[in-house]
Amino acid sequence: MNPAPDHLSCAEFQARLAEMIGSGANVAAHPHIQQCELCRAFLADLEAIAQAARELFPAVEPPDDLWENIETAIKKGK
């Protein structure tokens, strides 16, 4: 009955989770994750999904040098 100032309910925390991950925050170090088994499991699920997505779409944004290599290959001809 005496929650910390940054106390979040699980629903509030989970609603912010994707945003926190997207902003590059170290979500695993968040006090809520440290204390809440439920949200640790939820994070593990999210990470499994993110990992699967990376495997399905390994290069959504190809690095610049990839395009340079393609351009060089085109200029060289066949």
Nearer to Zn ion, 38 or 50 (CB): 38
Q: Give the number of C-alpha atoms closer than 13 A to the C-alpha of residue 16, restricted to the C-beta side.
A: 13
CB of 14 to Zn ion, least distance (A): 7
Among 17, 27, 30, 36, binds Zn ion (CB under 5 A): 36
1 to 20, contacts with Zn ion by CB under 5 A?
10
41 to 60, contacts with Zn ion by CB under 5 A?
none
Contact of 9 with 32, CB cutoff 8 Å: no
14 burial via Cβ count (<10 Å: 0-12, 13-18, 19+): middle
39 binds Zn ion (CB under 5 A): yes
